[in-house]
Chains A and B, each alone.
Chain A
Amino acid sequence: MTSIFILCLKIFVGVALLALVVVLALLFDGADRIVHARMQRRVGPPLLQPVYDIVKLMGKENIVPRRASRFFFTLAPWLALVVTLMIFLYIPVGSRAVLGTEGDMILIVYLLAMGGVVMAVGGFAGGNPIANIGAGREVTLMMSYEFPLAMVISTMAWVAYRSGMPGPPFSLETFASVSVWKAVGEVGDVGLVCLFLSLVFIVPGEIGKGPMDIPEAKTEILDGLIIEYSGVNLALLKLTFALRSFAISTFVTSLFVPVSLAGLLGVGGFFVAVFDFLFFWVKVFIVQMIFVTLMRTSFGRLKIWQASQFYVMRVAGLSLTGMILLSLDIMAR
């Protein structure tokens, strides 16, 4: 009886959370566009512009190219959206995740990767040579940044395991409840900064913006991956892009910024959950501004081999440094 009740509760909370997340992702996307514009001394679109875009695209004709593989071409946007939405069920908003006990960081990384792969499949299925180039670039980029990303996450888990943070090492809830910055010494903090910086560079690749806007490079391959998409499919992809930026920001927030407002203010009881829930989105907003907006305003676009080299050599080196420093810190205890 209790298990059915919990299941129903989880479904209810999950649906409510996903609805909230979709709205917030679009609002954050709008805010991102405004801040991006202001940094370029422009006025920028209204806050609700992404919402208007989605609504408008929903009413547009959905064209499938004659040469496309219809099944994969239509499936890809839906699957990408679903996979990206699933991420939020495993991210602890405040302190607990909806499905926190069923999945961990490895699953989140896989879901993020799967979103990218699915979009690449959609690009390949479109039958457009330019989309093919875009999809090829997406896959190449993914292969390049997954290695440093895996290194960051496994190091974090190892730190959690060895430093005796309560909870399973790969669970995000562990990092959300106890600050990883307090779990290590000074050398370890430098290592954590290295890992954090690696993530700063990995995030643009993960969402394909700024210097890593390579699979969708507008002035080179005309939006690459999504060139053949229109109507509802394009709306879904736009939503997916907004959600991906949002998801990776929530992920970084839970991992590295476990600051609790309730803890800071010293409130207790019922308010802890409310305060932390609301404060979480504030933290995500700040993280997204730094990781997404600032990065995409500050840099031009790299070429694919330059980006690949950058990840495989520089960022991997940076995360390796972080790993070694953290290991030294923990071994020395």
Chain B
Amino acid sequence: MSTTYTIPVGPVHVGLKEPVTAWLELDGERIVSARVRPGAIHRGIEFMARERNPIQVIYLSERICGICSFSHVMCFIRAVEDLANLSVPVRAQYIRTLVLELERVHSHLLWAGVACYTIGFDSAFHLGMQLRERVMDVLELLSGNRVNYGVATFGGVRWDVTPQLDKAIREMIRYYRREFTPFREIVMEDPVAQARMRNVGVLTREDAVCYSATGPTARASGLRVDLRKSSPYEAYADIPVEPVVPQDYFDAARGDVLDRFAVRVLEVYQSLDILEKALDGLPEGPFVAEPNLNKVLVSLKKAEGTGWGIIEAPRGDDTHAVHLKGGDDNVFWWKVRAPTYANAVSWPVMFRGNELADAPLIINSIDPCISCMERMMVTGSSAGVVTKAELLKRCRQKTFDLKARGFERGVER
């Protein structure tokens, strides 16, 4: 008779970038069943937006995610532009595309490094981190920041592409074409890395459809989905983008972690091509429709309605919906659906039949962004809504109780 036991991976775990808990039911090393419990890092950003005007929310939306910050900004701005019918100059659209692709390069490089770290391949991890520095330098040259760029604004962008930046980006493209290939070969042709990633965390094509996977996770399962092709936004209409699917490059799409790795790695090359085309096609003209933010704010105050912004973030489809009320300064409501929200549903399917050793790799394989995903939900009347004062009172009461009972018994498991 085999007995199973339960092991938590998380909430705080060396192999995970952000807090999430996977309770794994194990038989020896084999995973029998898995239950994923997020909820450790909810920040209430959507709620915070209701006390801010749309221009302030741009910088709030930038803080949703540290890696795909620009994708969230773009989503929010496109949603507001959608509802207020703001026009964007073509040059600004190209610059937005440039930054989106720079961010994709950055995000995929970071993920590839972290995936190597998760399988204990520290040398490749450090190599990946080093490669990533170059794109961060370019982003810093553009915006002055490494992570939250603060580039986009309503009706355009805040920073123009200077000849110096143009040169830097072209140099970066050459650098990656030269230096990234060795990294890809080191990892994808390494027997140990192949043993760890091949046939691990398989998400079949059918499951990917059923569980509505998005982005590289869906593409690794063989689905030709890419919003840059199916519903082009910004400058993507001028630049043809083909979804990267493993069956085009290898014999078949297996939907395992190695395929997800391959898709992301190949997308880096694709992004470099897009960057080059965007730089070549960069039109002259203004880079922002209305530089005076007060005027923009006044026009947004009059706007009323719901706007949508949907773009292909590095991790999948990012969707924002914004509602503004006429005459109201602040955002009335704002809904963010980060790509992880869709991809995380596939975790229990991916865990099936794998081992404990694979668990952190499987969690990381969808490139999760837990804090983008966390949502609070009040269900039914039993839980009720607790006010801040009540919460404070309860916290104090708990401390008093702990002290009264003594610390020793307080922490008794």
Q: Which residues of A line the B interface, CB within 8 A?
A: 39-42, 129-130, 133, 136, 211, 213-214, 217-222, 297-306
A-B contact pairs, 29 of them (CB 8 A): A40-B122, A40-B123, A41-B126, A41-B130, A42-B126, A133-B29, A136-B28, A218-B15, A218-B120, A219-B118, A219-B119, A220-B15, A220-B360, A221-B356, A222-B13, A222-B14, A299-B121, A300-B120, A300-B124, A300-B190, A300-B192, A301-B121, A301-B192, A301-B196, A302-B192, A302-B196, A303-B29, A304-B357, A305-B355
State the CA gap A280–B358 with chains docked (Å): 42
CB-CB under 8 A from A211, the residues of chain B are 192
Q: Among B15, B28, B127, which residue has its beta carbon within 8 angstroms of that of A219?
A: B15
Q: Is the CB of B7 within 8 A of A133?
A: yes
Instruction: Determine whether B385 belongs to the interface, using a CB cutoff of 8 Å to chain A.
Output: no
Known interface pairs A130-B7, A302-B195. Does A219 touch B117 (Cβ–Cβ under 8 Å)?
yes
Known interface pairs A39-B123, A129-B5, A213-B120. Does A300 touch B130 (Cβ–Cβ under 8 Å)?
no
Interface of B is mostly: helix
CB-CB under 8 A from A303, the residues of chain B are 29, 195-196, 355, 357-358
Instruction: Determine whether B193 belongs to the interface, using a CB cutoff of 8 Å to chain A.
Output: yes
Known interface pairs A130-B7, A303-B195, A306-B195. Does A219 touch B356 (Cβ–Cβ under 8 Å)?
no
Q: Which residues of B line the A interface, CB within 8 A?
A: 5-7, 13-15, 28-29, 116-124, 126-127, 130, 190, 192-193, 195-196, 355-360
Chain A nearest CB from B119 CB (Å) reads: 4
Q: Is the CB of A300 within 8 A of B193?
A: yes
CB-CB under 8 A from B358, the residues of chain A are 303
If A298-B123, A302-B195 are given as contacts, then 18 extra A-B residue pairs at C-beta distance below 8 Å, sorted by A number, are A129-B5, A130-B7, A133-B7, A136-B28, A219-B14, A219-B117, A219-B118, A219-B360, A220-B15, A220-B357, A297-B122, A300-B120, A300-B192, A300-B193, A300-B196, A303-B29, A303-B358, A304-B29
CB-CB under 8 A from B122, the residues of chain A are 40, 297
Q: Which chain A residue shows the least CB distance to B16?
A: A219
Interface of A is mostly: helix
Chain B nearest CB from A67 CB (Å) reads: 8
Chain A nearest CB from B5 CB (Å) reads: 6
Chain A nearest CB from B354 CB (Å) reads: 10
Chain B nearest CB from A96 CB (Å) reads: 40
State the CA gap A213–B192 with chains docked (Å): 12
Q: Which chain B residue shows the least CB distance to A220?
A: B357
Q: Which chain B residue shows the least CB distance to A223?
A: B14
Chain B nearest CB from A106 CB (Å) reads: 32
CB-CB under 8 A from B118, the residues of chain A are 219
Chain A nearest CB from B25 CB (Å) reads: 12
Q: Among A129, A214, A299, which residue has its beta carbon within 8 angstroms of that of B7?
A: A129
State the CA gap A35–B124 with chains docked (Å): 16
Q: Is the CB of B14 within 8 A of A133?
A: no
CB-CB under 8 A from A222, the residues of chain B are 13-14
Chain B nearest CB from A193 CB (Å) reads: 21
CB-CB under 8 A from A129, the residues of chain B are 5-7
Q: Which chain B residue shows the least CB distance to A218?
A: B14
State the CA gap A304–B127 with chains docked (Å): 26
Q: Among B5, B126, B195, B359, which residue has its beta carbon within 8 angstroms of that of A40?
A: B126
CB-CB under 8 A from A39, the residues of chain B are 123
Q: Which chain A residue shows the least CB distance to B355?
A: A303
Known interface pairs A129-B7, A130-B7, A219-B118. Does A299 touch B126 (Cβ–Cβ under 8 Å)?
no
Which of A217, A219, A297, A299: most chain B Cβ within 10 A? A219
State the CA gap A136–B7 with chains docked (Å): 15
CB-CB under 8 A from A40, the residues of chain B are 122-123, 126-127
Q: Which chain B residue shows the least CB distance to A219?
A: B15
CB-CB under 8 A from A42, the residues of chain B are 126
State the CA gap A42–B123 with chains docked (Å): 10
Q: Is the CB of B7 within 8 A of A301?
A: no
Chain B nearest CB from A228 CB (Å) reads: 14
State the CA gap A41–B94 with chains docked (Å): 36
Chain A nearest CB from B380 CB (Å) reads: 34
Q: Which chain B residue shows the least CB distance to A130?
A: B7
CB-CB under 8 A from B190, the residues of chain A are 299-300
CB-CB under 8 A from B357, the residues of chain A are 214, 217, 220, 303-304
State the CA gap A201–B358 with chains docked (Å): 23
CB-CB under 8 A from B120, the residues of chain A are 213, 217-219, 300-301
State the CA gap A39–B121 with chains docked (Å): 13
Chain B nearest CB from A73 CB (Å) reads: 17
State the CA gap A136–B356 with chains docked (Å): 13
Q: Which chain A residue shows the least CB distance to B15?
A: A219
Q: Which chain A residue shows the least CB distance to B186?
A: A298
Chain B nearest CB from A238 CB (Å) reads: 17
Chain A nearest CB from B18 CB (Å) reads: 14
CB-CB under 8 A from B6, the residues of chain A are 129
State the CA gap A218–B15 with chains docked (Å): 7
Q: Is the CB of B126 within 8 A of A301?
A: no
State the CA gap A213–B357 with chains docked (Å): 12
Q: Among A41, A133, A297, which residue has its beta carbon within 8 angstroms of that of B356?
A: A133
Chain B nearest CB from A64 CB (Å) reads: 15
Chain A nearest CB from B279 CB (Å) reads: 29
Q: Which chain A residue shows the least CB distance to B411?
A: A66
Q: Is the CB of B119 within 8 A of A301?
A: yes
State the CA gap A219–B119 with chains docked (Å): 7
CB-CB under 8 A from B130, the residues of chain A are 41
CB-CB under 8 A from A213, the residues of chain B are 120
CB-CB under 8 A from B5, the residues of chain A are 129
Q: Which chain B residue shows the least CB distance to A37?
A: B126
Chain B nearest CB from A247 CB (Å) reads: 23
CB-CB under 8 A from B127, the residues of chain A are 40-41
CB-CB under 8 A from B356, the residues of chain A are 133, 220-221
Q: Is the CB of A300 within 8 A of B7?
A: no
In order of increasing CB-CB distance, the 4 nearest A-B pairs are: A301-B120, A300-B121, A219-B15, A40-B126
State the CA gap A40–B358 with chains docked (Å): 25
Q: Is the CB of B359 within 8 A of A299?
A: no
Known interface pairs A41-B127, A42-B126. Does A299 touch B192 (Cβ–Cβ under 8 Å)?
yes
CB-CB under 8 A from A130, the residues of chain B are 7
Chain A nearest CB from B280 CB (Å) reads: 33
CB-CB under 8 A from A297, the residues of chain B are 122-123
